[in-house]
Structure 1
Amino acid sequence: MPPSFETLRRLVATQGPVLAPGRPGLRLLLLIALAAAIAGGVHAWRSQPQPEPLAPPQPVSGSLRTAPASPLPPRAVSPFPTPGSGAVLEVTVHVTGKVHRPGVITLPLGSRVTDALQAAGGVRKGTGAGALNLARKLVDGEQIVVGMPGSAAAPIVADPAAVVLDLNAATPQQLEQLPGVGEVLARRIVEYRDGHGGFRAVEQLREVSGIGDRKYAEMKDKVRV
């Protein structure tokens, strides 16, 4: 055995009783060890990983595709003028004379004299329609008189040619009542009106194909803008 180890052994044997902790020291060491074990357990419990909530998914960049809209069903094309087209949809007439409810009556465009008489309550008993053309189409602003005084059945009707038409609101049927205007020319007048944003002056009728100086002279006093 080396001399250094022998010297150490002798020193421990000599100082052994001094280094022994005894019972109080041993208890203290046990308490310290227990406290260290508790502290280590608490630390280990607190060091356990905690579950974290997942972040909400980020929106995908770019435009989202939407389902194609179902095609709309085809719309029926009405033969009558539609609102906003500049055409008159109604006619207003004055029914007077021997009817049950005389007065001003508004009827749909295309109504006839017989419709106006029915709307006025019909002709009074003992009074006939006389010379009235019940099948004639009504003209906006006209007056229908049933039963002139002194004549039981001598009705008169306002002359449609005497009505002044608005070039920007008249229908093709109304334009046909102008002197010298037929179906074709009435359609040309409407096409000119639609293509030029309406009439600004009566003189513009000269620019419509088919209207010469003579026809214009016959029409100019029966139209307005």
Structure 2
Amino acid sequence: MTDSPDSLPAAPEGGAGVVVVHVAGAVGKPGVVSLPQGSRVFQAISAAGGAAPNAELAALNLAEVLTDGTKLYVPAMGETPPPAASSQPGTGNASGTAGPAAAAGAKININTASLEELGTLPRVGPVTAQRILDWRKEHGAFTSVDELDAVDGIGPKLMESLKDLVTVQGG
């Protein structure tokens, strides 16, 4: 078996136990794809039209299990990742991405971050980012990073992956 995702068939869509992921970057058809729960990064790339000829697949963990609501960014070879989705090889996050602030060592302020900025965090897709914004609107500013635990969809594992990438200070 080859390690090229475009050589494998796309996973079927629909039904119970589905994960929905946004595949962007160096793929044939960037966009939102639905895959069976338990699907892996290589299957999402395949469902998005396969890897582009210039895709830097070595920057991703192709065997990683996908998490619902994440964004998977496939960088091009030699690419400096765009601000909205910075590739972080070897991070072990299901989205294959981390935000520009995380890449630069700066933290994202969850009290001032936009939907787009929150969506650059690993394993935070548009749904979870919107829930963070909704919580903030309903309850006011976060007083500590630990309060993210109160947001629907943020459990212990996601909380653990985010705590060192976000802050509530300075905003």
TM-score by length of 2: 0.42
More strand by share: 2
More helix by share: 1
- Relative contact order (C-alpha < 8 Å, sep 6+): which is higher? 2
Max Rg structure: 1
